[in-house]
Amino acid sequence: MRTEAVPSTAYDDLPYTRGGDVDRADLGGLVQSAADGDAAAWKALVEGLSPLVWSVVRAHRLSDADAHEVYQTVWFRFAQHLGRIREPHKAGSWLASTARNECLKVLRNLRRLTPTDDPQLLDRVSEDRTPEQSVLDLEEAAAQSERVRRLWQEFDGLGERCRQLLRVLIASPPPSYQEVSAALGIAVGSIGPMRQRCLRRLRARLEAGEAI
């Protein structure tokens, strides 16, 4: 089945040291419990992995409507396959690659329905994102809000590859590199170096902005 297609397992035996290891440690157990009828385990899976699925969808810059539908499709299919997933401890990668496949289908369909290959149309920015407003709602100090807003703005202005990679990496809790690999179809071994470069680039943008 195509949604089971999880990328390279070359690094699976290496220790995973990113911050999410506590949350990810018992993924297999949670999947098993949920399959056995434990609704609380299912809820824990949703709480722990929802941000990853959302990040993958966001990384692909779908419209809000498409993003919502892909997110739902992924979770409905996961519920449907619960108990049949071959490697329950890799549920995060399963969700990430399923989300990626559905995102790519949406993008392919947009292209098919679009007579031109105008990249603008394939790169729609969601309509209702108003970071400024959300920040205003915060009770935090104005300076900190400004910092968050600027950070997000510079992040959003990064090249597409960097923006995409970082958007998945900053899911909370932090995804494993196996999950990132499944989310974006890139080799596990290239994620670290790319991450480093993209964060350097982001920092440079922030510093350039401050200098003005």
Residues 128-147 interacting with another protein (rule: CB under 8 A): 129, 131, 134-135, 138
Contact 210, 146 (CB under 8 A): no
Query: Least separation, in Å, of the C-beta of 26 and another protein?
Result: 18
Q: Is 35 in the site for another protein (CB under 8 A)?
A: yes
Taking CB under 8 A as the rule, does residue 183 contact another protein? no
By the rule CB under 8 A, 32 interacts with another protein: no
Choice between 90 and 100, CB closer to another protein? 100
Q: Structure tokens of 158? A: 């990064």
- Asked if residue 61 binds another protein (CB under 8 A), the reply is no
Question: Angle CA(104)–CA(24)–CA(155) in degrees, nearest 5?
Answer: 50
CB of 178 to another protein, least distance (A): 11
* Residue 8 contacts another protein per CB under 8 A: no
Residues 63-82 that bind another protein (CB under 8 A): 68-73, 75-82
| Helix, strand, coil content of the chain in percent (nearest 5) | 70, 0, 30
User: By CB under 8 A, is residue 11 in contact with another protein?
Assistant: yes
Whether 156 and 206 have beta carbons less than 8 Å apart is answered as no
Size of the site for another protein (CB under 8 A): 90
Residue whose pair of structure tokens reads 């999947």 in the numeric block:
31
User: Binding of another protein at residue 170 (CB under 8 A)?
Assistant: yes
DSSP string, 70-103: HHHHHHHHHHHHTTT-S-GGGHHHHHHHHHHHHH
